[in-house]
Amino acid sequence: MGHANPNPEFISLNLAVLTVSDTRTEDTDTSGQLLRCALVEAGHKDYDHCIVKDDIYQIRAVTSRWIADPEISAIVITGGTGFSGRDSTPEAMLPLFDKVIDGFGELFRQVSHEQIGSSTIQSRCIGGLANGTVIFCLPGSNNACKTGWEQIIQPQLDNRTRPCNFVELITRK
């Protein structure tokens, strides 16, 4: 009978961060910078990053390239998850998912409710798995990114989180 190592060594992952915005630039992309700093602070590698307009096909073009890259284990997307006219991240990503992580959006809205009340229902954040890559789509605000990273994503991208995490599902041999 095998036993899990009670004190496994941390596994560093290659992550990519995509900012979806019609107005952000490298200089003004505070939510993307926040996520990139947070993932490095957690011990992961900032493997790639990009800013695209809130356009379904631009979002899909970048994320499809990253999903196909065997070096990238996870993608975090910030922006485009609301209800305004051009918010299209969920529409762009859902067709690419092999499996949807239903609990991610549910948990994010639950955690977010403590901070912003019922306004959290306007968040259409989603998560999924595509070709062995885990993908989390967050709102574009710094507070939402900080909350989503610290309370949900970072623990799930840490192989020491018990009883389960995504690392074993997404690490490629």
Say if 143 falls within a structural domain: yes
So what's the pLDDT on residue 173? Answer: 41
So what's the pLDDT on residue 86? Answer: 86
Say if 3 falls within a structural domain: no
Say if 1 falls within a structural domain: no
Q: What angle do CA 128, 133, 23 make, to 5 degrees?
A: 70
Say if 7 falls within a structural domain: no
Say if 48 falls within a structural domain: yes
So what's the pLDDT on residue 4? Answer: 57
Say if 19 falls within a structural domain: yes
* Residue 66 to residue 16: CA distance in whole angstroms: 8
Total of domains in the chain: 1
What is the span of the domain harbouring residue 115?
14-170
Q: What angle do CA 86, 90, 92 make, to 5 degrees?
A: 80
Q: Find the CATH number of the domain harbouring 49.
A: 3.40.980.10
pLDDT digits (tens, 9 = 90+) for 12-54: 999 999 999 999 999 999 999 999 999 999 999 999 999 999 9
Say if 152 falls within a structural domain: yes
- pLDDT less than 50: residues of the chain: 1-3, 173
Say if 44 falls within a structural domain: yes
So what's the pLDDT on residue 1? Answer: 40
CA atoms within 13 A on the CB side of 138: 30
